[in-house]
């Protein structure tokens, strides 16, 4: 069983994350690093995919070889920054089903409001991996997972690149059944809700919008 929080401390992950934190890293470099790091994080978050066997004939003899079992897993990207992690995971798992959750923050209530929700069918029969690079306050992650549970998902993982302690705690309180996999847990959130030291706005860094 994955623990509630797994920090992937592999040297390649930590090295790539440090390059991503560097404010002089270009947009192209940031996107490429995110793609590479998402391969390594995907390896960790998919550890518990169910397995079966099937008969395979090697050039020498037949064996019962291990293969993935069950329905294709579902990758759910929280727009827009989730797409950076999604692209890399799809390199590894090209047949995964894909969904999108769009949320914005209501400036009066400060609560997340859904503007887009499209997910694969039969979520209840799939492992669901929800991706967003930054687990900051946890508000959008908790809201996205609420929506996924309402749509039937019962076996959910949350994958991010960086987390704030505040976001981890919020997720632990709201969704203790959803393991979180991340490359690092940083020091804190600042008054604007940015992770410190962090890497800035992941969407802007990825798409060059600032
Ligand atoms: N979202 C980001 O992109 N960066 C943060 O630091 C926090 C939330």
- Domain spans, the chain: 5-207
- Residue 192: name the closest of 146, 143, 134 by CA: 134
- Is the C-beta atom of 167 inside 6 A of ligand 1? no
Averaged pLDDT for residues 16-45: 97
Average pLDDT over residues 80-99: 96
Q: Kindly tell me if the per-residue pLDDT of 110 is higher than 80.
A: no
When computed from its CA atoms, the radius of gyration of the chain, rounded to whole angstroms, is: 18
Q: Of the residues 105, 170, 182, 191, which is catalytic?
A: 105
Distance CA 84, CA 131 (A): 9
Q: Does 3.30.70.3270 match the CATH number of domain 5-207?
A: no
**Average pLDDT value for residue range 161-165:** 98
Mean per-residue pLDDT of the chain: 96
- 139 pLDDT more than 80: yes
Intra-chain end-to-end CA distance of the chain, in Å = 40
Q: How far is CA 110 from CA 92, 115, 137, 168, in A?
A: 36, 15, 11, 19
What per-residue confidence (pLDDT) applies to 109?
Answer: 77
Is 154 labeled as catalytic in the residue annotation? no
d(CA 82, CA 204): 12
Residue 111's pLDDT is: 80
């Amino acid at each position: 069983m994955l623990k509630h929080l797994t920090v992937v401390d592999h040297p390649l992950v930590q090295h790539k994350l440090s390059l991503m934190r560097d404010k002089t890293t270009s947009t192209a470099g940031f996107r490429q690093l995110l793609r590479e790091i998402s391969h390594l994080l995907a390896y960790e978050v998919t550890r518990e995919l169910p397995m079966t066997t099937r008969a395979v004939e090697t050039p020498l003899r037949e064996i019962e070889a291990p293969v993935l079992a069950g329905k294709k897993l579902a990758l759910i990207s929280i727009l827009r920054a989730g797409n950076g992690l999604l692209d890399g995971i799809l390199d590894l798992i090209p047949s995964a089903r894909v969904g999108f959750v769009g949320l914005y923050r209501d400036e009066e209530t400060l609560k997340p409001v859904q503007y887009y929700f499209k997910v694969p069918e039969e979520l209840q029969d799939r492992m669901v991996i929800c991706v967003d690079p930054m687990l900051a306050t946890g508000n959008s992650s908790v809201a996205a997972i609420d929506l996924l549970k309402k749509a039937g998902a019962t076996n959910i993982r949350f994958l991010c690149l960086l987390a704030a302690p505040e976001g981890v705690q919020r997720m632990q309180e709201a969704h203790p059944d959803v393991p979180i996999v991340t490359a690092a847990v940083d020091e804190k959130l600042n008054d604007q809700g940015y992770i410190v030291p962090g890497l800035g706005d992941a969407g802007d860094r990825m798409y060059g919008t600032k």
